[in-house]
């Protein structure tokens, strides 16, 4: 209440002051002067603009190319995708001369899209080679790192070792570096593309 009274008193003062300074600017005698309204409107506009500007600045700080990539910033998803992909690679690229079916089944489970087609195209040769040469291949991931991660897609760099064992010959180890693209399908990450780098 006292605030209102004080405000009213101030307005009266302002009116008087205005009348003295610029008498012709008041529309009619007895009506309120226009300038407090103009000032108020201006202030409101300035405040709105400031708010907008600060918000835009905040967005710019937050939405950088760096923050668009969730690799490591989302620790749980990062661990999950590297785990799923490492497991998948180990399963589909490990087989024995009489145990290629296991890898084939695994491929249907962990691959999708282009990767599945490539694998299917390759698998005829693999089966033949494994049987003819009595070849056992064991693949394990040495290190995997996520280069790019979003809610549903990931790119992973994988260093892996492949041990080839042919009956009657010493085992040989080959190293490979793969770039893997994975997509989140339901609960699991599936590999949709594999390329050697």
Partner 1 sequence: MARAGKTRNPLVIAATALAVVAAGAAGWGGWQRYDAAHDDAASYAQARDDALAAGEQAVQNMNTLDHRTLEKGLDSWEESTTGDLHRQLVDGRDAFAKQIVAAKTVSTAKVLSGAVTELDERAGRAGVMVALRVTVTAPKGDPAVKESRMLGTLTRTSEGWKLSALGQAPVGSTAG
Residues interacting with partner 1, by CB under 8 A? Answer: 37, 40-41, 43-45, 47-48, 50-55, 57-59, 61-62, 64-67, 69, 71-73, 90, 140-147, 156-157, 159, 161, 163, 173, 175, 177, 179, 197
The minimum distance between CB 57 and partner 1, in angstroms, equals 5
Nearer to partner 1, 9 or 40 (CB): 40
Residue closer to partner 1, measured from CB, 46 or 101: 46
Least separation, in Å, of the C-beta of 124 and partner 1?
28
Instruction: Give the integer Cα–Cα distance in Å for 72 and 138.
Output: 29
Question: CA separation (Å) from 187 to 76, 81, 102, 126, 167?
Answer: 13, 11, 22, 30, 40
Q: Closest distance between partner 1 and the C-beta of residue 96, in Å? A: 17
Tell me the H-state helices in the chain.
Answer: 2-21, 35-62, 65-68, 75-92, 100-110, 113-132
The side-by-side arrangement of strands in the sheet containing 135-149 is: 135-149, 153-166, 172-185, 188-196
Supply the minimum distance, in Å, between the C-beta of residue 47 and partner 1. 4
């Amino acid at each position: 209440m006292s605030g209102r009274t004080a405000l009213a008193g101030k307005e009266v003062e302002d009116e008087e002051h205005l009348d003295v300074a610029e008498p012709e600017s008041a529309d009619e005698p007895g009506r309120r002067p226009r300038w407090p309204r103009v000032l108020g409107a201006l202030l409101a506009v300035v405040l709105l603009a400031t708010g907008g500007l600060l918000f835009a600045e905040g967005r710019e700080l937050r939405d950088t190319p760096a923050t668009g990539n969730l690799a490591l910033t989302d620790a749980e998803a990062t661990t999950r995708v590297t785990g799923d992909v490492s497991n998948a690679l180990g399963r589909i690229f490990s087989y024995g001369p009489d145990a290629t079916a296991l890898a084939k089944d695994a491929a249907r489970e962990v691959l999708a899209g282009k990767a599945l087609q490539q694998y299917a195209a390759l698998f005829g040769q693999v089966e033949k080679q494994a049987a003819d040469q009595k070849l056992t291949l064991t693949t394990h991931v040495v290190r995997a790192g996520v280069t790019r991660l979003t809610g549903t897609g990931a790119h992973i760099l994988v260093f892996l070792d492949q041990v080839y064992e042919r009956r009657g010959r010493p085992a040989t180890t080959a190293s490979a570096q793969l770039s893997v693209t994975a997509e989140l399908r339901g609960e699991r990450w599936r590999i949709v593309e594999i390329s050697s780098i």
